[in-house]
């Protein structure tokens, strides 16, 4: 199975980013893991 590398860039308001990161930290999910699941990778 070939490994595929993808770069994702998103523009997010700083306040929203901080809130999202805080929520993910509370439930123990790294942002990178969430992105993998959201993109279906």
Q: Where are the domains of the chain?
A: 11-41
Q: Which residue has the tokens 């999202």?
A: 20
- Looking at residue 7, what is its pLDDT? 82
Question: Residue 24: CB partners within 8 Å, gap ≥ 6?
Answer: 30, 31, 34
- Looking at residue 41, what is its pLDDT? 61
pLDDT tens-digit series, residues 1-41: 677 887 878 899 999 999 999 999 999 999 989 888 888 76
């Amino acid at each position: 199975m070939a490994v595929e590398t993808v770069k994702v860039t998103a523009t997010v308001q700083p306040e929203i980013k901080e809130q999202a990161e805080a929520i993910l930290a509370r439930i123990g999910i790294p942002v990178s893991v969430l992105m993998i699941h959201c993109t279906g990778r």
